[in-house]
Every structure is written in structure tokens, then in C-alpha cells.
Amino acid sequence: MKNKSQKERLEEISNALFGSPEDLSLEHALETLKSAEISPEELCDRTYNELLLKARAYRTRQEQVPPRLKKALEDLRPATAPARSQEELDRSASATVLRIIDAVRGFKLSSSSPSFALSTSYRNKKSEKSAKDQRTIDRLEKELLDDLGEEEKDDQD
């Protein structure tokens, strides 16, 4: 890589061979990640955790969390993360109920289908979580809630 023009030439060839970054669709990006054996979910979760630490570092230094970082935390927030406020919890619960209702509405049994019965076997199945697992989950949940509480407090400030 001797000079700028060589760098530019390399980029030009790369764009010609593999397409311009501007034309990269999400579908194409996902395909590329799949070829490289990268899980998008794991990538987003890992990045979310790193960004949480980054935001925490800002707060530790008594600095404002940059708006872009806040937005990224919102966008990358895993669906499984606990709700940060009652309002959010209500919203998420309503959305879940609506999804279930939609799914039930869309589920049409054909006349030849056998009759279905609810089974209680799973309901009565003992949890496979050990007491130690539960303690770890509780601890992680508490840490996360504390973080989110602080974040919420910052947002209000």
C-alpha cells in the first residue's frame, strides 16, 4: 500500500467486483454473515452489552451519554430484556396478547384434522433450572435492572 491512488484503485476494484457499499441490502448483509458463520443475534446481543458498558463509562465520568449511543441502545435492545417502566411493560404485554390473538385467528383447522386436547405434561414438568442457575439469573437481572434504572434516570435529567 504505497500511496493513496493505489488504495483508491483497490477500493474501486473491490466495489466493482462485490458491489458498492451503498447498494448493500440488509438481505445481502445477512447472507454474507451467514457465509462467514456469524450469528446476527449473538452479534447484536454482544454489541448491546458492550454499548451498555460504554454508556456506563460515560456516566461514571459524569458525562452525558451521546445521543447516538442512546439511540443505538434502544435499537439494539434485545426483545427479551426486562421492561424499564410500567408503561413499557403494558405496551409489550398488549403487543404480545395481540400477536397471540392474531396467531389464533390465523390458525384454521381443516375438517380432517384430529381434535386437539391440551396437555398438562409440560405444565407439570419440573424445571431443569438448578438453584445456582436461578441465583445467577436473579443476579444478572438485578444488575441489568439497576443499569436500566440509571439510564432511565439519566434520560429524565
User: Contact residues for other proteins (CB under 8 A)?
Assistant: 1, 6-7, 9-26, 28-33, 35-38, 40, 43-44, 46-47, 50-51, 54, 66, 68-69, 71-72, 74-76
User: Taking the complex as a whole, how short is the minimal distance between the CB of residue 70 and other proteins, in angstroms?
Assistant: 9
Q: Nearest CA to 73 among 42, 48, 43?
A: 48
- Name every residue whose Cβ is closer than 8 Å to that of residue 76 and which is 6 or more positions away in sequence: 44, 47, 48, 51
User: Taking the complex as a whole, how short is the minimal distance between the CB of residue 44 and other proteins, in angstroms?
Assistant: 6
User: Taking the complex as a whole, how short is the minimal distance between the CB of residue 155 and other proteins, in angstroms?
Assistant: 16
Closest to other proteins by CB, 12 or 90: 12
Closest to other proteins by CB, 39 or 136: 39
CA angle in degrees (0–180, nearest 5) for 134-139-145: 125
Closest to other proteins by CB, 79 or 118: 79
Distance CA 88, CA 148 (A): 13
Residue 55: Cβ-neighbour burial (10 angstroms; 0-12, 13-18, 19+): buried
Closest to other proteins by CB, 23 or 157: 23
